[in-house]
Chain A
């Protein structure tokens, strides 16, 4: 198949501009984290700072208690949230994918309706804080994000009903396999592509979540990495004020706060950027299946 392409020089020129536009802010952030504090104060953030320094990272290394705790909380909610979210989604999606499931229509509609209408922030907040008393618990960082709404369930359901041959399920049943056995021995192994895709989307949304922490968490010791970053964005002294840095032996004035803040942001996105190349395929797939009918 020979295709006639546009002038390649022109196309690449445009993409070099676009790629630079996308990458520039990240490069600036990384360079800012390696810039000496005096240099930032005098010349501002720059791609080619006059004075480089590792002070920010040294500070984070020495005062790592708060950062490590926030990191631990983020990793914990991401792992638990992704696993539990995926499990209950698949468990709900499977019966709905079975043509012989009684009340399938009503149940599917109940799942689907959550995409159309939602009570909004105020009732949701009051349900979790006044009814279930989840304020300032780690549960409030996990539960609201498990399913959010029925969208992923519908995606998994349509994968189940199109990709798993009904005769396999029927013959397993006739051979005496229980429904649960069929589910985890046959259905789940055959659905790894969709489970990997949805799992990746859940992982990213848990890692990036700052909203639940913003409304449900007020205790600094329960902050996830995103919430710590969120607080430091508007309050640069936050780490020290809350004595989150363990031993606050360093005098406030000598702390390179401008670069420390940028270094923390770098540490916050590093894991995502590092795994992105390996999972890009699934990520792109997740975005495109989400766009077509669920």
Chain B
């Protein structure tokens, strides 16, 4: 159909080259409009994504604004040496992996349970209503979640300190300066905000299951619990595996808002709320320690990249169609 495919067999070398060249120009002319269309998007990706990728060299430099980014002196691996000499690198890596690991596990289990239950609601209108409400927290910004948290945990006027704890005869707790509660609080907030999303994904997969399996099982006298265990869960297993592997591929990246807004950026809580993302942010914006911050950022990008590749490799071994590439 296109001119590009109609290159004749070469008679002589030069003649062929001329023809090839003219074919190239013909193709370019034919597809000129399509190439123009991609310009804004490609330009954007170059600025927003590719320039920063080359910007990772900052981690190996002693950034001096007067000299500019390219003109600053090279430091080699000094920034990384400093980073891994302190206990910071260990603490933020541990926090990031432990939090994300438990989020993946707990959210998946709860979301499957809720999705199965949603599918058991006989009145479809009510099922849709429940679904919308459970998804509501996913829709709002983390700043608002910070406010909701404050209305619960504010020391002087929070719902917990003023209404719940007095009822139980417990003294008020200064939530925002007691690190020991925060692993639980953050896990709870994360469940509250994100389970609805995962639940919708699993529900879509459950709805796709053929009803005949259940009918056959009912005739054979299988209980509801047996049906869930031997039909529903095995049949949505591919979705569960994919969602889990994708999440594991992103285990080095945290939900910055959760760890920044919900604890109100409180200093005393840092040992238990600091993750790689908050560490990088603080180094850049409050401490002005660009070297350390960019080293931690590159560490995250590289490990994250490897994890995505590994996760995708495992997915593609399990099911070629579900893999990203």
Binding site for B on A (CB under 8 A): 1, 3-6, 8, 11-12, 14-15, 18-19, 21-23, 25-26, 28-29, 32, 40-41, 43-46, 87-89, 91-96, 98, 100-102, 107, 110-112, 114-127, 130-132, 143-144, 146-150, 153, 170, 178-180, 183, 204, 207-211, 214-215, 226, 229-230, 233-234, 258, 261-262, 265, 268-269, 272-273, 276-277, 280, 283-284, 287-288, 291-294
Contacting residues, chain B, for A211 (C-beta < 8 A)? 256-257
B89 at the interface (CB under 8 A from A): no
A127 to B304, CA, bound (A): 21
Extra A-B contacts (19), CB below 8 Å, given A120-B56, A210-B143, A265-B147: A5-B120, A11-B121, A15-B121, A25-B151, A28-B159, A40-B157, A44-B163, A95-B31, A112-B325, A118-B52, A122-B58, A122-B293, A230-B146, A272-B139, A272-B140, A280-B135, A283-B139, A284-B135, A288-B200
Most buried by A among B44, B59, B65: B44
Could you jot down 11 A-B contacts, CB within 8 Å? A5-B122, A6-B120, A8-B121, A43-B162, A46-B162, A88-B40, A118-B52, A119-B56, A120-B298, A122-B283, A268-B143
On whether the beta carbons of B264 and A234 are closer than 8 Å, the reply is: yes
B156 at the interface (CB under 8 A from A): yes
Chain B residues with a Cβ closer than 8 Å to the other chain, count: 105
Contacting residues, chain A, for B133 (C-beta < 8 A)? 18-19, 22-23
B192 at the interface (CB under 8 A from A): yes
On whether the beta carbons of A233 and B143 are closer than 8 Å, the reply is: yes
Contacting residues, chain B, for A131 (C-beta < 8 A)? 51, 69
On whether the beta carbons of A233 and B40 are closer than 8 Å, the reply is: no
Q: Mark B105-130, 1 if CB is under 8 A from A, else 0.
A: 00000000010011011100010001
B160's closest neighbor in chain A, by CB? A44
The 7 lowest CB-CB distance pairs between A and B, nearest first, are A44-B162, A123-B55, A92-B41, A119-B52, A179-B33, A120-B297, A208-B141
A289's closest neighbor in chain B, by CB? B204
Interface of A is mostly: helix
B1 at the interface (CB under 8 A from A): yes
Which residue of A123, A148, A179, A288 is within 8 Å of B37 (Cβ)?
A: A179
Binding site for A on B (CB under 8 A): 1-2, 4, 27-28, 31, 33-35, 37-38, 40-42, 44-45, 47-56, 58-59, 65, 68-69, 114, 117-118, 120-122, 126, 130-137, 139-144, 146-148, 150-152, 154, 156-159, 161-163, 192, 196-197, 200-201, 204, 211, 214, 218, 224, 239, 243, 256-257, 261, 264-265, 277, 280-281, 283-285, 290, 293-294, 297-298, 300-301, 304-305, 308-309, 321-325
Assuming the contacts A226-B141, A258-B157, asked whether A291 and B243 have C-beta atoms less than 8 A apart, the reply is yes
A287 to B205, CA, bound (A): 13
Within the complex, the shortest CB–CB distance from B26 to chain A, in Å, comes to 11
A143 to B283, CA, bound (A): 24
Interface of B is mostly: helix
Contacting residues, chain B, for A94 (C-beta < 8 A)? 34, 37
Assuming the contacts A233-B147, A277-B132, asked whether A25 and B301 have C-beta atoms less than 8 A apart, the reply is no
Assuming the contacts A19-B133, A122-B293, A229-B147, asked whether A95 and B52 have C-beta atoms less than 8 A apart, the reply is no
Contacting residues, chain B, for A45 (C-beta < 8 A)? 151, 154, 157-159, 162
